[in-house]
Amino acid sequence: MKDAIFDDGAEVLGYLGWGLIDIPSSHADMEKRYGAVYVNRSNHDLKDLKRVPKKSFYWFQKVLKDNGDEL
């Protein structure tokens, strides 16, 4: 995003993470996950449904905290 803003001159008004909690793939169910927070479950077992932040969660948290200054 930083390249788009500074190198290409894109006018970016904001940004938003798409799906902060695991979103099952429409074709692969829970085998392929998207989101910044992992949900402990599988296609056939709900397990304990514990939410576990992924590395991307902490990256996005930092981006929000410093308003993208470190991108």
pLDDT band at 15 (very low <50, low <70, confident <90, very high): confident
CA–CA separation, 25 and 19 (whole Å): 12
Does this model's pTM top 0.75? My answer is no
CA 43 vs CA 5, 18, 23, 25, 30: distances in Å:
40, 22, 12, 11, 6
Work out the burial of residue 56: count CB atoms within 10 Å of its CB; fewer than 13 is exposed, 13-18 middle, 19 or more buried: middle
pLDDT of 27 > 90? The answer is no
